[in-house]
Structure 1
Amino acid sequence: HLFLVLVIEGGALMAVELMGAKLVAPFYGGSLYVWAAVLAITVLGLTLGYHAGGRLAKKRPSETKLFVALGISALLVLALPLTASISMAFTRGMDLIVGICVTCVLLLLPPMLCFGIVGPLVVALMSSQLETVGRTAGTVYFTSTLGGIAATFFLGLYFIPVAGLRLCATVTGLSLAALPVLYIMKMLFGGGKRGSSAFVPLRRDRSIPATAKRSKGSSKKSKSRKPVRRSIYLFAVLEGATVMAVELLAARMIAPYFGSSLYVWATVIGFTLLALAIGYFAGGIMADKYGGPDTLLWVLLTASIFLMLMPVSSQWLTIAFVNITPGAAVILVSLILILPPLLFLGMIPTFLIRKLSARADSAGSNAGVVYTISSASSIVALPVFGFLVIPRYGLTMPSIITGFAVGLIPFVKLIARQRYISLGFIPVVLFSFWATKTHQPGKAVDVQYYSEGLLGQLLVADVSKDRFLFVNRTGQTWVDKETFKPKWDYASYVRSICSKSPEKSSALILGLGGGTVANIFQNSLGFSVDAVELDQRIAEVAKRYFALNSKVNVVVDDARHYLEESQKKYDVILFDVYRGEAPPPHVFTLESLTRTKSLLKEDGLIIVNFNGFWNGKIGEAARSIYKTLLAAGLETGILPTPGDEAGRNMLFVASRKKQDFHTLRLPLLQHGKEVDIEALFENPQKVDLTDAVVLTDNKPILELLNIRAGNAWRKGYVEMTKRFYKEGIPLFR
């Protein structure tokens, strides 16, 4: 039954992490700040739990302590939606980052601490012989991680978006609560005797000392066992930090070609957990059979080689799989890129547990110590790599140098022990540095700016007479590089629609991009403009490369957070917010749009810029946004720009009461002639909303609905990325 405990605990752990990020989103958004805080607090809670579990396992491990921890975690999980509401109310008015961190601590730290206690206790309860401690520890964390993998795909891709956060919290909490309930029933109806029911624990008999169960040979071996140096804990530090670095680097390496959609994210997380699960299990077996001093060194050296080759292999693999479907390609690239380094890194914790355990009954406490140290180092690595190293140095050199650092000590020690086959490390190092040299870009593409940061990769490139702004290689802005006139039709449509409002009107733009619409509002329409942009780099790029008017007031904040905190009323509010090809689901919910309506002046306009897919399953996301606008009590018109669905935009023009667009200050011009924009609106009577849904904070389903449209929209940019690569522009630096 302890295996059942591990599967449910592992699945619940991942469920709480996923739900935590979604529960915070309605106030703080879904930015990297939120995900970094969720991940950091999750790991911090687990770290404290591992430490507490190790202490409990050292003193007197018992099933009662295990199931008490599970029972407490069940109550905390059931209360998650309420806790989230209270936490966000408590942090209202705080700075964005401070508020996110405090909310995540209140929401996630207590349940994660309980989850962390489980592993060391189960290792202690299941360890009966010293010779199988490694296998036992590996099996425990392998089983728990398998539960996490199942939860990632089932909950992340289906259950949370479709069933909702409240139901997910209820199901997860009740699943956890069932475990202590069954334990209590076993104790009551089984008379409290072990083995009196089918619900039998796998644990050693406490009446027989563990040493008495070993053979004479193993007893002699344990007596002659040398004390383990404390420096061995440095391997746990190295493993924890490197696993976090690999996860961050791999996701960024994949994004420029495959994007950052829900499926891509789930694939990366899924393979990360799968690799670690296999590593935990293999490391335990290896530690029991091949526990010699060289084994751990070879494992680290192998991991370092794969890590140093990640930059070149990711680009080669991506180009090699260009002719297969995107879904299959991202799976294959993730499999080959992520699995090898993380598999070998995953071997290290269970190997260390076996190495540190002089007796079988010390396995639980050692598991707590090893995973405490490993998790603590990953907490440090998260902000260091996520917010310092990657933004400043890119992806290639951090990957190579991290791999080199991981492999250097094992290489030196193996050479000192005359293991000369390890000299193969040298040509790998030389090759990885040589491969960073790229061809000089051709004349067709002139890169003006490149950086990695909060939203991923930013790239400003001139192609012929045009200038583009890309986020993760998806176009955000397209202008004439001399005049900075926008090339996308939606900008002129927005200009004409908004010219209904008089000069000196107040306008709010959510999502700055290159600032083309902000300039139209400021320069052509004479508006007072506030533009909310989460990534400070985009604001700087807009000013430097796209001539953003200095009078535009740029507010660095999450769009949803700004809407929730602002008290200012606006004449025009434009939603022009994307993360690459993916619309942020927390921005387009009924609650968000209702809040936006409250910030709108009586005759004001809300305009939502969305992709052009409208018909069939591929247009389900757009139709759901339209249905949600209607549900918010807004009179909403549907205005498509020219072209086919893949090349156009869809504008939703909403207001408190029906508007007349026959007379405008700046009429729409097409081919030099004025056009009555009112005649271009779709007939709402012909719109079928049968399969559309009203988007809510509880069911963040927009990203799931938009996957087909996002992939189709990105397809054109994939062709441009191939062209750039042929011109000597790498997928990342």
Structure 2
Amino acid sequence: MRLNLIVLVCGSVLMALEIVGSRVLSPHFGSSVFVWGSLISVFLAALTTGYFVGGKVADRKPYLQNLGWIIFLTSFVIWAIPLFSTQIIIFLIDLGLGVRFAPLAASTLLFFLPSMLLGVVSPYGVRLAAVEVTRMGKVAGTLYAISTAGSILGTLLTTFVLIPLLSVRTIFYGLGAVLILISLLALKRLSPVQALSRAGLLVLAWFFFLELPEPSIITPEYGEIIYQRDTAYHRVFLTQNEHYRFLRFDRSWQSSMDLRDPYKSKFAYPDYFHLAWIFNPDIHRVLIIGMGGGTASKKFYKDYPQVTVENVEIDPVVVDVAQKYFHVPQDARSHITVEDGRVYVVRNPGPYDLVILDAFFGETMPFHLMTVEFLQLVKERLTPHGVVAINFLGALTGRNSRLFRSIYKTLKTIYPQVLVFPEDWEPGDDTDLEGNLIILATLQSDPLSKDQIVQAATKLKSGPVKIPRLDEYAGRLYTRRIETDDVPILTDQYAPVEALRHL
């Protein structure tokens, strides 16, 4: 019973460590496949090493007390992770290792040692429990089953309970505290009942004393952090300076609000969505996938009384932040639904006059919102003069443009007209630099010239559209040829988003 409990808890802590490890890396490297691939590889390599070392050490010194000391040591290694992780990651970024190797190096330095030590537990437990060679298979199978069951428990508990409720730092402290407690089963020969009773007291102390407020961080432009929380999808930060409030997911800034006028933003890209009125002046029903701080939604709500906006956001925490800190309304003209954007489009037939895709996972859109299958589905939900507007972060040319050009190629297979409006870009500027690219796709078969688009924008801004620089934004229409021969059309079966963006 005692050994089974030790193996179960250590299995739980191991997987909790891997899940919460993604929250350490994502603010610096995003939530790409490279981050998860690095974490999984490092943990598997560490377990391989731990199994090998554990078997050797157990044969030489098969004592429960020795296992207790190994677990006790592991707790302090885990406690050190939140203390030094930021400095280690910044050091690796400064070395210029890139988006593929920096997460791998960080995962190795931060998580290899504690996961290797936890990997020692199962083979050590097998050696301690197997008193007869004839029962070795049964003992090994039972303990590894218990360890796997613990891993399942740790995964579910961390994903559905700990991360939504507690800070990353507190979770690390809690995992270390649990290991100290479980080590006492071996070091002090406590009974399982005694250990569990002390565990209850430790958990209470964890909740009431370790969940301390995070220290404020001052950034030169974005001010002081006034709110932060780990959700099922991001680490959400809210910062504020004298005049503006900002919303950030992991390492990407999403929205801003002028504290003097909640309908104004420091970021210009939401204003580009109003260019849709050039191609469809009779917009009444708008779907926005990806809410953020609700900048576009609020502006549509205020400026166009005839418009109904349907906001779809997958993260309920983001919805709460948007309503509480960015004053996004919810009534008959402003609907908010917590759901995956693609699932929402499948369930709702529309039709929509304007569909805006402004959803981000890390630094780019979720791949399933960029494929030809989804974009075709969106087309089927549009009115005859409907428009699709996409906010994309990327470059127009060069190595960093491959994902943008792939999306552009995908759109061109579906929509007769696809236009690109780079934010803060002028002819002659460097097209290799990353920035917000607003892509408009329409069902119109007869394209408008650049002059016609600018003229229409000039006329609109003196009428129903209250964007003073609308004609200037229209004039940023990118008219050079966009090369797509070297990039694929994105499909549900093949959408190498991370490779196109980073390799």
The structure in which a higher percent of residues are helix is: 1
Q: What letter corresponds to residue 181 of structure 2 in structure 1? A: L
Provide the secondary structure at the position in 1 that maps to 2:311: strand
Conservation of the 8 A alpha-carbon contact between 1:610 and 1:651: yes
Of 698-707 and 237-246, more deviation after overlay is shown by 698-707
Shift of residue 501, structure 1, vs aligned partner: 3.5
Q: Which residue of 2 aligns with 1:566?
A: 348
Q: Is 1:667 the counterpart of 2:476 in the alignment?
A: no
Q: What letter corresponds to residue 377 of structure 2 in structure 1? A: R
Inter-CA distance 522–608: structure 2 relative to 1 (3 Å threshold): same
Q: What letter corresponds to residue 568 of structure 1 in structure 2? A: G
Conservation of the 8 A alpha-carbon contact between 2:283 and 2:354: no
Alpha-carbon distance in 2 for matches of 1:705, 1:242? 35
Cα shift readout 1:5-64 (whole Å, capped 9, x = no counterpart) = xxxxxxxxxxxxxxxxxxxxxxxxxxxxxxxxxxxxxxxxxxxxxxxxxxxxxxxxxxxx
Q: What letter corresponds to residue 438 of structure 2 in structure 1? A: L
Structure 1 vs Structure 2: percent identity of aligned residues? 26
Q: Which residue of 2 aligns with 1:680?
A: 476
Cα shift readout 1:64-114 (whole Å, capped 9, x = no counterpart) = xxxxxxxxxxxxxxxxxxxxxxxxxxxxxxxxxxxxxxxxxxxxxxxxxxx
Q: Which residue of 1 aligns with 2:197?
A: none
Alpha-carbon distance in 2 for matches of 1:578, 1:441? 24
Q: Is 1:508 the counterpart of 2:282 in the alignment?
A: no
Conservation of the 8 A alpha-carbon contact between 2:405 and 2:484: yes
Q: Which residue of 2 aligns with 1:471?
A: 249
Spell out the pairing of 1:695-706 with structure 2 (5 A cutoff). Answer: 695-706=490-501
Cα shift readout 1:354-394 (whole Å, capped 9, x = no counterpart) = 22223334333223211221222222222322222222121
Q: Which residue of 1 aligns with 2:198?
A: none
Alpha-carbon distance in 1 for matches of 2:358, 2:272? 13
Q: Which residue of 2 aligns with 1:323?
A: 94
Q: Which residue of 2 aligns with 1:84?
A: none
Spell out the pairing of 1:241-390 with structure 2 (5 A cutoff). Answer: 241-327=12-98, 328-390=101-163
Cα shift readout 1:530-575 (whole Å, capped 9, x = no counterpart) = 1110001111111111121223211111112222222221110111
Alpha-carbon distance in 2 for matches of 1:522, 1:670? 12
Alpha-carbon distance in 2 for matches of 1:631, 1:364? 58
Normalised by the size of structure 2, how large is the TM-score?
Answer: 0.85
Alpha-carbon distance in 2 for matches of 1:672, 1:456? 34
Provide the secondary structure at the position in 2 that maps to 1:331: helix
Higher relative contact order (CA 8 A, sep 6+): 1
Q: What letter corresponds to residue 683 of structure 1 in structure 2? A: T
Q: Is 1:231 the counterpart of 2:2 in the alignment?
A: yes
Conservation of the 8 A alpha-carbon contact between 1:604 and 1:655: yes
Q: Which residue of 1 aligns with 2:336?
A: 554
In our comparison, the structure showing a higher alpha carbon Rg is 1
Structure 2 alignment gaps of length 5 or more: 191-204
Spell out the pairing of 1:636-675 with structure 2 (5 A cutoff). Answer: 636-643=418-425, 646=433, 648-658=435-445, 660=448, 661=453, 662-664=455-457, 666-667=460-461, 675=471
Inter-CA distance 245–299: structure 2 relative to 1 (3 Å threshold): same
Q: What letter corresponds to residue 368 of structure 1 in structure 2? A: G
Q: Which residue of 2 aligns with 1:451?
A: 229
Shift of residue 434, structure 1, vs aligned partner: 9.9
Provide the secondary structure at the position in 1 that maps to 2:460: coil
Q: Which residue of 1 aligns with 2:314?
A: 534
Alpha-carbon distance in 2 for matches of 1:454, 1:522? 29
Provide the secondary structure at the position in 2 that maps to 1:541: helix
The structure in which a higher percent of residues are strand is: 2
Alpha-carbon distance in 2 for matches of 1:264, 1:676? 39
Q: Is 1:607 the counterpart of 2:389 in the alignment?
A: yes
Q: Is 1:493 the counterpart of 2:288 in the alignment?
A: no
Inter-CA distance 622–381: structure 2 relative to 1 (3 Å threshold): same
Normalised by the size of structure 1, how large is the TM-score?
Answer: 0.59
Conservation of the 8 A alpha-carbon contact between 2:71 and 2:180: yes
Conservation of the 8 A alpha-carbon contact between 1:594 and 1:632: yes
Alpha-carbon distance in 1 for matches of 2:407, 2:397? 14
Shift of residue 654, structure 1, vs aligned partner: 0.9
Q: Which residue of 2 aligns with 1:99?
A: none
Alpha-carbon distance in 2 for matches of 1:343, 1:373? 18
Q: Is 1:631 the counterpart of 2:413 in the alignment?
A: yes
Q: What letter corresponds to residue 497 of structure 2 in structure 1? A: L
Conservation of the 8 A alpha-carbon contact between 1:495 and 1:666: no
Q: Which residue of 2 aligns with 1:136?
A: none
Provide the secondary structure at the position in 2 that maps to 1:247: helix
Cα shift readout 1:628-682 (whole Å, capped 9, x = no counterpart) = 0112244212222223554631122112223544435733999966627655322
Alpha-carbon distance in 1 for matches of 2:183, 2:472? 73
Of 531-540 and 434-443, more deviation after overlay is shown by 434-443
Inter-CA distance 260–326: structure 2 relative to 1 (3 Å threshold): farther
Spell out the pairing of 1:419-458 with structure 2 (5 A cutoff). Answer: 441=217, 445-458=223-236
Structure 1 alignment gaps of length 5 or more: 1-229, 418-428, 709-733
Q: Which residue of 2 aligns with 1:597?
A: 379
Spell out the pairing of 1:100-119 with structure 2 (5 A cutoff). Answer: none
Cα shift readout 1:501-523 (whole Å, capped 9, x = no counterpart) = 44661111110110001112222
Provide the secondary structure at the position in 2 that maps to 1:706: helix
Conservation of the 8 A alpha-carbon contact between 1:458 and 1:469: yes
Q: Which residue of 1 aligns with 2:303?
A: 524
Spell out the pairing of 1:131-146 with structure 2 (5 A cutoff). Answer: none
Q: What letter corresponds to residue 40 of structure 2 in structure 1? A: I
Q: Which residue of 1 aligns with 2:194?
A: none
Shift of residue 480, structure 1, vs aligned partner: 2.0
